[in-house]
Structure 1
């Protein structure tokens, strides 16, 4: 589904170069210390940061020169990027049409997914009238409405309290399975990898330092806690 080949960009702190492959339907959690290049990797894949060399392939298509809106992916940030003057319904509609003019089938799809994610009682509210967890649920639902095969999550739940964060992780796992999505999620939490990941990727000093299962990581295949500063305790 995703191939990143010697992808790099101008980065003042350190040289960055990434090479990795993600299979269709695979769920990857990207771990590593602050400043290692995790968010930069996602922004390079999404096209928000231009690559100085290398390639990005998604679903057998070279998307390296495509604008972010043209790439077959959806990306969710820690800041949910909802439009504050639009209702939940209108924010969701943007996932289907920039003009928010929906066909009957699109309206049906929006309604069904809003019900699945528990948003139906909130459809006429503005973002300011929602809790942090509710806003992230709206943002995640909007990503899913775009019906793209690749979902990129950049620490979207780190600002939530532990109970809400766990709720969002469960919802993400269920929706990825149901929609057969390929997931790449940046996190500082080892517990996220334990819950979500088919595979973990460790980024350190602008490059891929290690790749394997969370079980291998937990058993000490690499001392991630010391080398990369990952929090391995229970959701600290």
Structure 2
């Protein structure tokens, strides 16, 4: 089921933007071939943890393991990771087709079979016929679909999303989550998703990791951990009486 997608282990990671004060400490496991959500208050360290996994930040102590492989010192470009941000995933001067094709060749020199792969990826995210358009001609949801199409052609076993759908309205956000779930299941990618929306976490993820104050406070089933009737007091306070949006 999980194929070659690795389990990711954050083992005793310590980090601080001031190296003299490593005030963040992360220990957690992201299961192979599953969707895990990182959730918690703003400024709690969710994006920092994601950046440590991606390689954009380096821990002062500890290890990042992909399966049995220590990736702690591995450059971003050499990690088997695709990442989608909330904005700025696309190059404005390139067409939709070329933005996706970058996932195959940075020089945009594609064989006919590779061009067909790009077209198939666009079709799979419901953007068939959009290849000649520029990002400025697309809606926010369409731009994120292009980013997902690039994930498909890159075919990396790990996908990281940093509030990728946060700027979208509820209905469109749900559509994007359904598309993400479909792509993730087809490819069994180990997926870690930062979100501020508990409902998104419960809908899309099998596991939730609650981050607060620069550390992992709790890990468990997304359905249970983010249920105000069953969770710990700190998370219940974060969710509020309605269980979060």
- TM-score tier by shorter-chain length is over 0.9
SS of aligned partner of 1:120 = coil
Count of residues paired in the alignment: 234
SS of aligned partner of 2:99 = helix
Counterparts of 1:186 and 1:138, CA distance in 2? 19
Identify the residue that residue 147 of structure 2 maps to in structure 1: 139
Runs of 5+ unmatched residues, structure 2: 1-6
Give the Å deviation of 1:220.
2.1
Q: What RMSD, in angstroms, separates the aligned Cα atoms of the two structures?
A: 1.8
TM-score of the superposed pair, with normalisation by structure 1: 0.93
Q: Which moved more, 1:215-224 or 1:81-90?
A: 215-224
Runs of 5+ unmatched residues, structure 1: none
**Cα distance 1:230–1:145, how it changes in 2: closer, same or farther (>3 A)?**
farther
Q: Which moved more, 1:18-27 or 1:29-38?
A: 18-27
Q: Which runs of structure 2 are paired with 1:1-236 in the superposition (5 Å)?
A: 1-12=7-18, 15-217=23-225, 218=227, 219-223=229-233, 224-226=235-237, 229-230=238-239, 233=242, 236=245
1:91-133 deviations in Å (ceiling 9; x for gaps): 0000111111122332222111111111122110000010011
Counterparts of 1:233 and 1:148, CA distance in 2? 37
SS of aligned partner of 1:153 = strand
Contact 1:14 1:206 in 2 (8 A): no
**Cα distance 1:41–1:111, how it changes in 2: closer, same or farther (>3 A)?**
same
**Cα distance 1:143–1:103, how it changes in 2: closer, same or farther (>3 A)?**
same
1:145-201 deviations in Å (ceiling 9; x for gaps): 211111101110010111111110000001000111111001111101111111111
Contact 1:189 1:230 in 2 (8 A): no
SS of aligned partner of 2:185 = helix
**Cα distance 1:16–1:132, how it changes in 2: closer, same or farther (>3 A)?**
same
Counterparts of 2:132 and 2:67, CA distance in 1? 36
Counterparts of 1:51 and 1:91, CA distance in 2? 31
